Amino acid sequence: MKEYYLGLDIGGTKILTGLADGEGNIITRSRRATEADLGEEKIIENMLATIDDVLKKAGATADEVKTLGIASPGPLDSKKGIIIENANLSWKNVPLVEKIESATGIKTLLKNDANAAALGEKWFGSGKNVENMVYITISTGIGGGAIINKKLFSGVNDNACEIGHTVIDPNGPLCGCGNHGCLEAFAAGTSIAKRAREAAAAGKSKEMLELADNIIEDIDAVICAQAAYQGDQVAEDIFKNAGYHLGIGLGNVINTFNTEMIVLGGGVMKASDLFLDEAIKTMEEVALSGPLEMVTVKEAELGSDIGLMGAIAVAMEDRLVIDD
C-alpha cells in the first residue's frame, strides 16, 4: 500500500493543500478560496474539498494517507486540536482536528503557522542539515518557531518562541498586545507602515504620499519600501530603524537559544536589502561571542510554499526524525 501525507495551509483568503509522498515531494496540489465570510461550516467544506481534489488528482484514497498536517494562524491548542481564535476567520474554539478527522478518517495534527513554517524550513528548506534552529517570520506581525534537537519545541500551550512579544525597549512604541516596545512594535510590517504614515502625516515624505495618491491611510510597508528604493531618505531610515531593533531581537535569540541557525522569513523579508545589513550589524554587537560564532543567519528557502511545506512537515515530523 502506498503511503501519503497531506498538508493543508489555511489562510484568511485561500486554502492551499498538497499531497506528498514519503519523502515530502508534493504530488498534487489544490487551492481554493477560504470564503471566510461564509462561516465555519463553509470554510471546513472548502478545506475538505481541497483534500478531495488532491486525492482524486493523484488517484489516491484517504486510507493511503498516513497523516494530515494543518498550519493555521493562532492562538490554537495543538494538543486538543482546537482553534482558539482566528482574526481572519472569526472562529472561536473550533475543534478543527475532530471535525476533519471525523469527515476524512485521516489522523490530523494542527500547529500554528509560525511553528509549522519552522518545521518546513527545518526539513525541506534552509535548515536541512542542522539540529537546532529558530525560524522567525517578519510579516504583519513577528512570530517564530524553535527546533531543538531536530524537534519542534512548541512550549506547554503553543506559545514558545513568541519573540515578537519580547520587550526590547520599555520606552518604545505601543504594541498591539498592550505593552510598549515589543520587537513586533518596532520591526513588523504593520509597525513599519505606521511609522511611514506618521512621517507622511508630518509632511516628512512627499514620495510616500505620492505613491499612495495622497491618501495617508493607504501607505503601507510596501509603499514605504518603494519610496526607500526610490531614494526617499525618510523611508530608508524607517527600514534602518526597524533593522536596528530586529538586530537586538536576533542578538537576544542567539543569547537565548544558542542554535546553529536562524532562518528569516515572512513578507517583509522581500525588502531585506533595506534593513538586513543593519540588523546583522546590531545582532553581532548584542550576541555574546560564544554563541555568535556558532550561528548562521539565512533567509527562508521555501518562499510562498512555506505554509504548505510546513503543514506537510507537521504531518511527517515523527517519520522525518526517525529516518534522519
Binding site for a second copy (CB under 8 A): 75, 132, 148-149, 153-163, 165-171, 177-179, 181, 248, 251-252, 255-260, 285-286, 288, 290-291, 294-295
| CA separation for the pair 238, 192 (Å, rounded) | 7
In the complex with a second copy, the residue whose CB is nearer, 178 or 203, is 178
Contacts of 272 (CB under 8 A, 6+ apart): 264, 299
For residue 170, give the 3-state DSSP assignment. coil
Q: Measured from the CB of residue 272, what is the shortest distance to a second copy in angstroms?
A: 22
Q: Measured from the CB of residue 290, what is the shortest distance to a second copy in angstroms?
A: 5
Q: Measured from the CB of residue 296, what is the shortest distance to a second copy in angstroms?
A: 11
Q: Which of 252, 278, 275 is nearest to 163 (CA)?
A: 252
Paired sense of beta strands 151-153 and 82-86, if any: unpaired
> Residue 181 — left, alpha, or beta (φ > 0 → left; ψ -120 to 50 → alpha)?
left
In the complex with a second copy, the residue whose CB is nearer, 62 or 148, is 148
Crossing angle for the helix pair 189-201 and 221-229, nearest 10 degrees?
A: 70
Q: Measured from the CB of residue 176, what is the shortest distance to a second copy in angstroms?
A: 11
In the complex with a second copy, the residue whose CB is nearer, 136 or 200, is 136
In order, the DSSP letters of 3-57 are -EEEEEEE-SSEEEEEEE-TT--EEEEEEEE--GGG-HHHHHHHHHHHHHHHHHH
In the complex with a second copy, the residue whose CB is nearer, 35 or 169, is 169
Return the C-alpha cell found at 280. 546583522
In the complex with a second copy, the residue whose CB is nearer, 68 or 134, is 134
Q: Measured from the CB of residue 13, what is the shortest distance to a second copy in angstroms?
A: 25
β-partners of residue 82 are 77
Before 75, cis peptide (omega within 30)? yes
In the complex with a second copy, the residue whose CB is nearer, 28 or 179, is 179
| CA separation for the pair 189, 266 (Å, rounded) | 9
Q: Measured from the CB of residue 101, what is the shortest distance to a second copy in angstroms?
A: 24
- Phi, psi dihedrals of residue 29, rounded to the nearest 5°: -130, 155
Q: Measured from the CB of residue 118, what is the shortest distance to a second copy in angstroms?
A: 14
In the complex with a second copy, the residue whose CB is nearer, 35 or 77, is 77
Q: Measured from the CB of residue 62, what is the shortest distance to a second copy in angstroms?
A: 32
| CA separation for the pair 285, 250 (Å, rounded) | 10
In the complex with a second copy, the residue whose CB is nearer, 62 or 286, is 286
- Let me know how long the chain is: 324
